[in-house]
Amino acid sequence: MEQHHQYGTESDADTAMSPGLISPRDVEAVPNPRDKNGLHTPLLQRKKTLLPDANYSVEQHQAMIGANVSPIESLDYELIENELFRQDWRSRTKHEILEYVFLKWTFVFLLGLLTGLVGFGINMAVENIAGAKFLATTKSMSASGFMPAFLLYAGSNVGLILVSSLLCVYISPAAAGSGIPEVKAYLNGVDTPNIFSLKTLFVKVFGCICTVSGGLIVGKEGPLVHIGSCIASLIGQGGSRKYHLTWRWLRYFKNDRDRRDLVTCGSAAGVAAAFRAPVGGVLFALEEVTSWWRGPLLWRAFFTTAVVAVVLRTGMAWCKGGSCGLFGEGGLIIFDVEGVKSEYGLLELFPVVVLGIIGGVLGSAFNHLNSKIVLFFGAFLNKRWRSAKVWQACLIALLTASISFGLPWFAECRPCPEHKIGQYPIGAECPTHGRAANFKGFHCPDGTYNDLANLFFNTNDDATRNLFSTGTPGEFRKSSLLIYLGASYFLAVITYGIAVPSGLFVPSILCGATYGRLVGMLMTPIAGDDRLDEGVYALLGAASFLGGSMRMTVSLCIILLELTNNLRMLPLIMLVLLVSKTVGDSFNDAVFDIHVQLKGFPFLDAHPEPFMRHLTAREAIKYTPVTFNAVERVGTVVDVLTTTRHNAFPVLEENGAVLCGLVLRYHIMVLLEKRAFLDHSDDSYIEKKPALTSSDFAKPGSGKGMRIEYLHVTPEEREKYLDLRFVANTSPYTVVETMSLAKAFTLFRQLGLRHLCVIPKKSRTERSPIVGLLTRHDFMPGYLHEQHPLLR
Amino acid sequence: MEQHHQYGTESDADTAMSPGLISPRDVEAVPNPRDKNGLHTPLLQRKKTLLPDANYSVEQHQAMIGANVSPIESLDYELIENELFRQDWRSRTKHEILEYVFLKWTFVFLLGLLTGLVGFGINMAVENIAGAKFLATTKSMSASGFMPAFLLYAGSNVGLILVSSLLCVYISPAAAGSGIPEVKAYLNGVDTPNIFSLKTLFVKVFGCICTVSGGLIVGKEGPLVHIGSCIASLIGQGGSRKYHLTWRWLRYFKNDRDRRDLVTCGSAAGVAAAFRAPVGGVLFALEEVTSWWRGPLLWRAFFTTAVVAVVLRTGMAWCKGGSCGLFGEGGLIIFDVEGVKSEYGLLELFPVVVLGIIGGVLGSAFNHLNSKIVLFFGAFLNKRWRSAKVWQACLIALLTASISFGLPWFAECRPCPEHKIGQYPIGAECPTHGRAANFKGFHCPDGTYNDLANLFFNTNDDATRNLFSTGTPGEFRKSSLLIYLGASYFLAVITYGIAVPSGLFVPSILCGATYGRLVGMLMTPIAGDDRLDEGVYALLGAASFLGGSMRMTVSLCIILLELTNNLRMLPLIMLVLLVSKTVGDSFNDAVFDIHVQLKGFPFLDAHPEPFMRHLTAREAIKYTPVTFNAVERVGTVVDVLTTTRHNAFPVLEENGAVLCGLVLRYHIMVLLEKRAFLDHSDDSYIEKKPALTSSDFAKPGSGKGMRIEYLHVTPEEREKYLDLRFVANTSPYTVVETMSLAKAFTLFRQLGLRHLCVIPKKSRTERSPIVGLLTRHDFMPGYLHEQHPLLR
């Protein structure tokens, strides 16, 4: 359920103003006559994308998947009704239905189990690699001084990022980035090859481990969402076809609907594994990722994330000995701010609102700057050699390492607090030279600590923990927080979008928590010691940045609660999210929506754009459809399939007077490949007791269709006939040509169609019973504005 | 988003088995040939309802609203497209759009404010009335002994219930019951007069106060959901039309879509006010109440509940002095179980699963028994005089009073615990004779307390607090818990459904917490003192009963967390909900779904029933539609409107050859009432520059349509003409007659239609361009099974 607030509200306003505020046009589109300026220039500029061809082309069915441009295809959720599939339905036994239900639950159980294990493994690996890195650097620092330590630190970071970006660029470009835009697009009905392949999964897992332990300002939540979806898709396909790891049980799952459901559960499981937030995961999938949501799915996603939670908890119990590093501390709560003073007066609402405004401004600025930088580098790098992307990643890694090692080096050492305060168990020690701690020694002498190193010279998780730590007032200087805020914001802006797996949650939480804590410190002279804890301010700051950048509401609320375990903060978190989302929405779109659009996905919003009310369905049709007769010559069919790229063809009966149905390209391909030919044009294939069953027509996994070029048809076979009635969808959804495009869009989007038939208004006098077909690309604002430039 | 798990899974299985498992029939419906037994008996029995006429009739458009049978009507979410409404769209200014958006947010703000205040007021009133009652009874008990105290107690209880049931039976029957089924039906598209009237609101508020303080085993959450929806609907209508409290701003909100959105937010606000659970409220509305959900709605509902939370919090801060009784203690957390040991071993998973199973069994048994009792009393009382319902309510009140006063009287007194344990602030005192306390003195001497009185002689909220109280092991005897479980279960079963406002959450929580605590006590000898606290077991028990009866998942989880403030319990709560929902689903439907069906609402499930694949759309059509010509004689129109009850009429052009569109009854009524007549049949109304604008056709509030009987048309006017093209929806959604009913259902349900046009397959040779209209009632399984008894 996406949240295009700007569009949402607008089109909201439009659809809702009165029972029927729609204006179909029977004639050509004319702009609003009162608008004098809009007459000769296109009124809505097409948005830029990362695709190499800057002009939006009708025939351009491709998008930026991860780091590379790939072809895309639409998914189809329409039910096909005809003799063939009816027979199959009749022949299904109770046992088969039971088997299906059993498999469905087994699959989500497996999904939860595997996602939980992978999430656990990633955490473990990151903790151990990063831990070893910090230990070695600290040792080298005390033994040999700045330069060797820096070289060791920067070298290991750059090395890790090099591995990650090499994997991404040369092995599986689809694994680059967070993957959330790709998953969102898939669940909106846009399929791409390799996006959920086994190779992508492996690269994503190992790349994510390297990237996060390599010290970049990135998180592992976005990649985990992609990983969860990959696992789901692979389970749904019964393993990887390429590596011959398939199961025969799959016959029940060879359709887009079941795969969609599994992938939705997978994205929920990914968030659950990343934040140890089972309910937050379900809500994230619901609010941010999916486009269609069904009641039973909530229940299945809930089950999946429950399994993830149990797996993680078991893993943590197993880790109790300490062998897993900090992972496992605090059980399922990662950043605990429980037990702090939860009373707050009306005076404290003011800084909370201020935080919301800061979050809205900084968050939307982040979206804007990041999209500009991604576009700039995209235009620059896509035209050049592939290794440029590797260089870019390594340079950013080097920059990050220099900043995070260099800046603390020049910071002043601060004396340790006299009383060991803080509920955080490790905070009692000062200074520490180990891994995560509240009071990092870094290069400081005994009895003093380096507050910048607390933030910079730490994993992102531990830096967040330090920012959230309660009962440690005055741990950071204001200047340190300011420096860290600037550096992390800058690094986050330039990092998201490079060719490594990277998530956006952790950078947002880091930036937000920093200025949140700063605002909390500034409140001390005003509110005195009776104010909220600095850790709570950090939490609210994190909420504000997330709200300002990602624009989610309920799911962020629950994820933050599950991260920090303080339900009494709920009203404050809600307030801060409301303010920051409102402020952010007044500037630009949510970050994932911006990236979906940058990557050029033909994404269908929940609502039609207002200008679509001024067009009729007929006006959006690109060309007269290529039709077939009910029984068509094989040669004709092969020629049409070879010369066009259409995926569906209307089938006409009775000399073209009656629309028999709609036939899909891959169903014709199966007929051709199985040689299901007739000798005469007046035969009927169904009367011949065909050997083909509906399972022969089951849809293969993503991007694995047959291609007409590889099919050999002999000249004798070309003279035979194909009975297309056998596979045609005899009752496709139709709309009348005078319907406004907005209304047709609603039907298309709500039912998840791939093709929508447009029928003539005056059927008796029209030449053909079908005017044309509408597909996803015909509803894209970019295309429509090119066709009707004067439309507003 | 409703959760019919049983149906959901089935139809799930069906829709998903393969790309097209649908079987449209062109001929008559025939049962599965392999099923020998099903040939001569209807295979699916129609379910019983509370409606007096036991036979499901096609023409029966009525349902049980609250305590009385009322007529019902369908809502219409389709956009109407024609010249008239197009003009209106063009004439709208930017300022009007801004005004609309501003109003939309003002309305939800007002909604949150009012619902919060009403919820606060109800809490205050209940606390004070019940408090005064208990104090007076305790005083009388110590002064005059058992009998006078009992008379005082029972008298006040029966008096309160008498007021409540009199209000419900004689003033506003629509206010009886929880209201959740009615709200659910409204949001599914079934409108009824008075369900959201000002009268209903007042009766619901005062009835709810009386019922809850009257000591019945009922809650105030169901009524609060209804109250929130009422407030929403009244705001959306701009006040009560009946009492002339309307605003002129309303013109933007005169359509079903905006009202639906507001009512959804209202139901979320109601739950938020009842449980002080803002996020839980949003999720409850999403998971249980709504049928259609849109992204922007999540965001608006979230805002509404945030306002409710702020109002409640401010109220509580204002109450700090103690003037509001116990209300306000614990801030937004009602039953706090924070701070208890949250570690649990694998051994403890066993009792948790057992709790889930118990909850599933008891919950589904509750659904079954309650529906039987409601049906029994319904059949018995609906035929008799209205006061029978008042008698029934008073008798149950007397029974409840006798049990809750009598049973503790015979209970043995227990010595107070030596050490004042328990974090619960009032638990330190033992025994207490005031209002709520952990250790009630009742009639016991000093130094002892009465553990049955802790439960029975208390408000339901305080009894729950006692059951959830942590750090108080051994407070209750096992026998006391068993007695209380039996009594409260029995009372809950017979109480829900009588003619007073009553909610189901509190009874479920009470029963569940009781056996939960019992299981916790039984675990002591097994797990020793290292086990989970008894209060935590009580929480898990409550979760299991709620899951077993209401079958929600995510929303229950969040509501329970927000009630009890212990996030570490999340995995256990998820586990217990999963088990209890699974067990419950294997027996029957969720309780609210059962009541929706009992009340006879034509509710459209999210998925078509499997048997609908064996019917075509044509087979479900009841009769040839009554059609009009594009320009029709006034006399003909009036006669048709008078003699039929149809709400939509196809309009034909060009001698009946072309379907011009669909015209709604109330649009024709407006034309007739405004005398928008033509003198000649070849005139065109639109060319006459009509004075009518689209706001003249705005839909009035629920159940307030004009009636043809009250319209006077002179004989001269009868000879004039009406231009129906002016108001007809020129591009209605259509399906082809051979489409399976299941596929047509999907379209109908997803787009929220009221009428679906069925067009002929062979349009050129058919007599009429329209075969018929499908409405909500045509998709009802009961009707379809009557028409096609052999279908399975």
Query: What value does the mean pLDDT take over residues A557-568?
Result: 83
Contact yes or no for A699 and B283 at CB 8 A: no
Min Cα distance A245 → chain B (Å) is: 22
A84, A639, A649, A662 from A629: Cα distances, Å: 18, 14, 10, 11
Give pLDDT tens digits for A227-260: 999 999 888 876 655 555 555 555 566 678 888 8
Look over chain A and give the mean of its residue pLDDT values, rounded to a whole number. 81
Of B20, B23, B295, the CB nearest to A2: B295
Min Cα distance B607 → chain A (Å) is: 9
Confidence of residue B396 (pLDDT cuts 50, 70, 90): very high
Residue A655 has pLDDT above 50, yes or no: yes
A339, A520, A533, B332, B724 from A343: Cα distances, Å: 11, 15, 10, 11, 64
- Higher-confidence residue of A182 and A73: namely A182
Could you give the percent of chain B with pLDDT greater than 70? 80
Q: Do residues B110 and B235 lie in contact, with contact meaning Cβ atoms separated by under 8 Å? A: yes
Confidence of residue A162 (pLDDT cuts 50, 70, 90): very high
Contact yes or no for A331 and B15 at CB 8 A: no
End-to-end CA distance of chain A: 26
- Higher-confidence residue of B426 and B701: namely B701
A429 — contact with chain B (CB < 8 Å)?
no
**Exposed/middle/buried for residue A499 (C-beta within 10 Å: 0-12, 13-18, 19+):** buried
Residue B489 has pLDDT above 90, yes or no: yes
pLDDT attached to residue B439: 74
Look over chain B and give the mean of its residue pLDDT values, rounded to a whole number. 81
Q: Tell me, what's the ipTM? A: 0.86
- Please provide residue A294's backbone torsions phi and psi, each rounded to the nearest 5 degrees: -120, 150
A3 — contact with chain B (CB < 8 Å)?
yes
Confidence of residue B26 (pLDDT cuts 50, 70, 90): very low
* Least trusted range by pLDDT, from A43-52, A118-127, B162-171, B556-565: A43-52
Query: What value does the mean pLDDT take over residues A741-751?
Result: 91
Contact yes or no for A729 and B20 at CB 8 A: yes
Helix axes B570-585, A295-319, angle to 10 degrees: 140
Query: What value does the mean pLDDT take over residues B558-582?
Result: 87
A78, B510, B742 from A85: Cα distances, Å: 13, 51, 14
B448-449 and A648-653 strand pairing? unpaired
Residue A150 has pLDDT above 60, yes or no: yes
Contact yes or no for B731 and A750 at CB 8 A: no
* CA dist., res. A40 & res. A385, Å (int): 41
Output DSSP code: residue B167: I
In DSSP notation, B274-332 reads: HHT-HHHHHHHIIIII-S---HHHHHHHHHHHHHHHHHHHHHHHHHTTTTTTTTTTTTT
Q: Do residues B70 and B62 lie in contact, with contact meaning Cβ atoms separated by under 8 Å? A: yes
Residue B592 has pLDDT above 90, yes or no: yes
In DSSP notation, B685-745 reads: GGGG--S--GGGGPPPSTT----GGG----HHHHTSEEEGGGTSBSS--EEETTSBHHHHH
* Least trusted range by pLDDT, from A212-226, A313-327, A702-716, B716-730: A313-327
Query: What value does the mean pLDDT take over residues A173-201?
Result: 89
- Does the global pTM surpass 0.90? no
Tell me the chain B residues in contact with residue A13 when contact means C-beta distances shorter than 8 Å.
97, 100-101, 104
**CA-CA-CA-CA torsion for A447, A453, A457, A458, nearest 10 degrees?**
80
Residue B760 has pLDDT above 70, yes or no: yes
CB contact residues (below 8 A), chain B span 395-424, against chain A: none
* CA dist., res. B238 & res. B256, Å (int): 14
Residue B70 has pLDDT above 60, yes or no: yes
Confidence of residue B16 (pLDDT cuts 50, 70, 90): very low
Query: What value does the mean pLDDT take over residues B673-691?
Result: 77
pLDDT attached to residue A56: 45
Residue A88 has pLDDT above 50, yes or no: yes
* CA dist., res. B465 & res. B453, Å (int): 13
pLDDT attached to residue B258: 84
Of B287, B561, B734, the CB nearest to A736: B734
- Higher-confidence residue of B126 and A446: namely B126
Phi/psi region, residue B216 (left: phi>0; alpha: psi -120 to 50; beta: rest), is beta
Tokens found for residue A517: 């804590």
Query: What value does the mean pLDDT take over residues A66-70?
Result: 78
Give the nearest chain B residue to A331 (CA atoms).
Answer: B568
Residue A86 has pLDDT above 70, yes or no: no
> Residue B111: in which H helix or E strand, if any?
helix B94-144
Confidence of residue B582 (pLDDT cuts 50, 70, 90): very high
Residue A512 has pLDDT above 90, yes or no: yes
Q: Do residues B398 and B390 lie in contact, with contact meaning Cβ atoms separated by under 8 Å? A: no
Of A295, A751, A763, the CB nearest to B747: A751
CB contact residues (below 8 A), chain B span 611-640, against chain A: 613
Tokens found for residue B156: 């006040």
Query: What value does the mean pLDDT take over residues A684-704?
Result: 67
The type of residue at B424 is Y
Query: What value does the mean pLDDT take over residues B452-458?
Result: 86
B628-629 and B414-415 strand pairing? unpaired
pLDDT attached to residue B354: 93
pLDDT attached to residue B46: 52
Of A19, A257, A331, the CB nearest to B15: A257
* Least trusted range by pLDDT, from A760-769, B82-91, B141-150: B82-91
- Which among B700, B153, B1, B112 is positioned nearest to A301, based on CA atoms? B1
Domains of chain B, earliest start first: 97-319 (1.10.3080.10), 348-590 (1.10.3080.10), 610-787 (3.10.580.10)
Residue A46 has pLDDT above 80, yes or no: no
Contact yes or no for A20 and B79 at CB 8 A: yes
Residue B515 has pLDDT above 50, yes or no: yes
Output DSSP code: residue B413: P
Helix axes B554-564, B256-275, angle to 10 degrees: 40
Q: Do residues A287 and A558 lie in contact, with contact meaning Cβ atoms separated by under 8 Å? A: no
pLDDT attached to residue B241: 57
pLDDT attached to residue B4: 38
Give the CA radius of gyration of chain B. 29
Contact yes or no for B738 and A730 at CB 8 A: yes
* CA dist., res. A354 & res. A516, Å (int): 10
Contact yes or no for B23 and A79 at CB 8 A: no
Min Cα distance B686 → chain A (Å) is: 15
Give how far the C-alpha of residue A525 lies from the chain's centroid of Cα atoms, to the nearest Å. 43
B734-736 and B648-653 strand pairing? unpaired
End-to-end CA distance of chain B: 27
Residue A5 has pLDDT above 60, yes or no: no
A230, A759, B669, B676 from B639: Cα distances, Å: 63, 34, 12, 17
B772-775 and B755-759 strand pairing? antiparallel
* CA dist., res. A465 & res. A426, Å (int): 11
Residue B24 has pLDDT above 50, yes or no: no
Residue A448 has pLDDT above 90, yes or no: no
Give pLDDT tens digits for B293-315: 877 788 899 899 989 988 888 88
Contact yes or no for A19 and B294 at CB 8 A: no
Phi/psi region, residue B189 (left: phi>0; alpha: psi -120 to 50; beta: rest), is left
> Residue A230: in which H helix or E strand, if any?
helix A221-237
- Higher-confidence residue of A294 and B259: namely B259
Q: Do residues A452 and A466 lie in contact, with contact meaning Cβ atoms separated by under 8 Å? A: no
CB atoms within 10 A of CB B670: 17
Give the nearest chain B residue to A12 (CA atoms).
Answer: B296
Q: Do residues A428 and A422 lie in contact, with contact meaning Cβ atoms separated by under 8 Å? A: yes
Confidence of residue A55 (pLDDT cuts 50, 70, 90): very low
Give pLDDT tens digits for B192-209: 878 888 899 999 999 999
- Higher-confidence residue of B529 and A563: namely A563
